[in-house]
Structure formats: structure tokens, C-alpha cells
């Protein structure tokens, strides 16, 4: 069982799960999606817990919380066609997941950012504002919840960006690209829900969403392995 959740094998295992969920979703069989969709985050939770032994307690439990909140959001959104309450519960779950991810990213923030990073932050804010103003006339009673949610995901993406220079480049890129995939997934979901039917919406939404969760999880694991390695090197140097 442990071999399945090694990095190289799990990548393919996870890919199969995501493809299966996309196929089930495309044929419109909600009964089987009750299994395939939660399995995406459940597999990531197991993968993370097995491979995060080196993680500090705070980071470890924050990541478990973020993944668990995402799992709850997935489950709630499976029933959003039955009641708007399920959509709101899903929105709240993912908002809390974004805030939790942001808390993890802030632990490795760079306090001396390169000047161009502020430009990238402004672009992210502009994208969030553009999406909101594009959708606002169709949001109606959900206007304020969506505003809060947009702020939450921008916070997550922004804190992923300011890790630059404080973690290895692979960890930074995996997490930041994952955050961008999350923004893309939520943007497509919102446009599809409030504006017009996006062609192949389910494929785009789940493909970008699953990619986002995987990249962020793998990026955090890489970051902390690097920190542990540096600490071991320092301790060895002190002994010498």
C-alpha cells in the first residue's frame, strides 16, 4: 500500500482517479461521482500524511485541514443542484481552505520581495476585480459571498507568490502554478454557473482543480524536505 503512495507511482494513480471522475461526470452519472470526486482529495490526504513525516506539526496539521476542507467543499458541491445552501456550504469550505493554504504559505514568506513581484500581485488583483465585475450583474443574492470568496482566493494566490526566494524554485513553482490553476478552475466554474455554459466545462473545471490540489500538495512536500535537508547540513557543520 505504501508503494502506491510513493511520489512516482502516486502521480499515475492520481491521474487515473481524475480521468475516471471526468469520464463519470461527462456521462452525467451523479451516483458514481459520489465515489470518484471525493476520492481525488481522499487520495491526496493519504499521500500527504504518508510522505509528510518531516513536516513541522503546525504545517502538517494546517495542510491536513486545507485538504479536508477542500474534500468537504467537493462533497457539498455534489448536491448544489438540490439547494443553494449546499453551494454556500461548498463556498465557505473552499474559502476556509484558501485561508488555510494562505496561512501555510505565509510561514515561508519573503520579507524582501523583488520589485517585479509587486507588479505580479497587482495583475492578480486586477484579474480578480475583472472577474467580479464581469459576473456582478448575475450574482444577485450571492454578490457578497462571492466578493468574500474572490478575496480569499486572491489571498491564497498572493501568499503563494511571496514564497519566492524563501523556498527552492521547484517548490515555489509547483505551489504558485497550483494556485493559478485554482484561480482558473474557480473562474471557469463561476462563469459556467452565472454567465453562460462553458463548452466542456466539467473537463476544464475538474482538470484544473485536481491539478491545483496536486501541485500545491507536492510543492509543500518539496519545500519541507528542502528545509529539513538544510537543517541537517547545518547541524552536521556545527558538529565539525
The CA distance from 73 to 94, in Å, is 6
Q: What is the pLDDT of residue 106?
A: 95
Task: Per-residue pLDDT tens, the chain, 240 aa: give them.
Answer: 555 678 889 999 999 999 999 999 888 767 889 999 999 999 999 999 999 988 888 999 999 999 999 999 999 999 988 888 999 999 999 999 999 999 999 999 999 999 999 999 999 999 999 999 999 999 988 899 999 999 999 999 999 999 999 999 999 999 999 999 999 999 999 999 999 999 999 999 999 999 999 999 999 998 855 554 454 444 444 344
Q: What is the pLDDT of residue 126?
A: 97
Q: What is the pLDDT of residue 4?
A: 61
Which one-letter DSSP state was computed for residue 111? S
- CA of residue 187 relative to chain centroid, distance: 13
Q: What is the pLDDT of residue 3?
A: 59
Burial annotation 64-102 (CB, 10 A radius, 16+ → b, else e): bbbbbbbbbbbbbbbebeeeeebbebbbbbbbbbbbbbb
The C-alpha cell of 186 is what? 474557480
Q: What is the pLDDT of residue 1?
A: 55
CB count in 10 Å sphere of residue 45: 17
Look up cell 462571492; give the residue: 146
Look up cell 450583474; give the residue: 137
Kindly report whether the global pTM for this prediction surpasses the value 0.75. Answer: yes
Q: What is the pLDDT of residue 31?
A: 82
Q: In the chain, where are the structural domains located?
A: 57-235
Exposed / middle / buried, residue 152 (Cβ in 10 Å: 0-12, 13-18, 19+): buried
Q: What is the pLDDT of residue 218?
A: 95
The C-alpha cell of 133 is what? 465585475
The CA distance from 220 to 163, in Å, is 11
In sequence order, what are the residues at sequence separation of 6 or more whose Cβ sits closer than 8 angstroms to the Cβ of residue 153? Answer: 98, 128, 182, 183, 186
Amino acid at each position: 500500500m505504501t508503494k502506491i503512495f510513493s511520489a512516482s507511482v502516486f502521480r499515475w494513480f492520481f491521474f487515473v482517479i481524475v480521468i475516471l471522475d471526468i469520464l463519470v461526470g461527462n456521462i452525467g452519472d451523479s451516483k458514481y461521482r459520489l465515489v470518484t470526486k471525493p476520492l481525488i482529495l481522499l487520495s491526496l490526504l493519504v499521500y500527504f500524511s504518508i510522505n509528510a513525516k518531516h513536516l513541522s506539526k503546525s504545517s502538517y496539521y494546517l495542510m491536513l485541514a486545507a485538504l479536508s476542507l477542500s474534500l468537504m467543499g467537493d462533497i457539498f458541491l455534489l448536491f448544489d443542484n438540490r439547494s443553494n445552501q449546499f453551494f454556500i456550504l461548498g463556498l465557505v469550505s473552499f474559502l476556509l481552505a484558501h485561508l488555510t493554504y494562505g496561512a501555510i504559505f505565509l510561514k515561508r514568506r519573503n520579507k524582501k520581495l523583488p520589485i517585479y513581484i509587486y507588479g505580479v500581485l497587482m495583475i492578480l488583483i486586477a484579474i480578480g476585480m475583472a472577474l467580479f465585475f464581469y459576473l456582478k450583474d448575475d450574482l444577485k443574492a450571492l454578490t457578497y459571498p462571492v466578493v468574500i470568496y474572490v478575496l480569499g482566493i486572491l489571498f491564497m494566490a498572493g501568499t503563494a507568490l511571496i514564497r519566492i526566494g524563501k523556498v527552492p524554485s521547484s517548490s515555489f513553482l509547483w505551489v504558485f502554478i497550483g494556485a493559478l490553476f485554482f484561480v482558473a478552475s474557480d473562474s471557469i466554474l463561476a462563469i459556467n454557473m452565472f454567465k453562460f455554459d462553458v463548452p466542456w466545462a466539467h473537463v476544464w473545471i475538474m482538470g484544473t482543480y485536481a491539478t491545483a490540489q496536486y501541485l500545491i500538495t507536492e510543492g509543500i512536500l518539496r519545500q519541507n524536505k528542502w528545509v529539513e535537508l538544510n537543517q541537517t547540513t547545518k547541524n552536521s557543520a556545527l558538529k565539525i
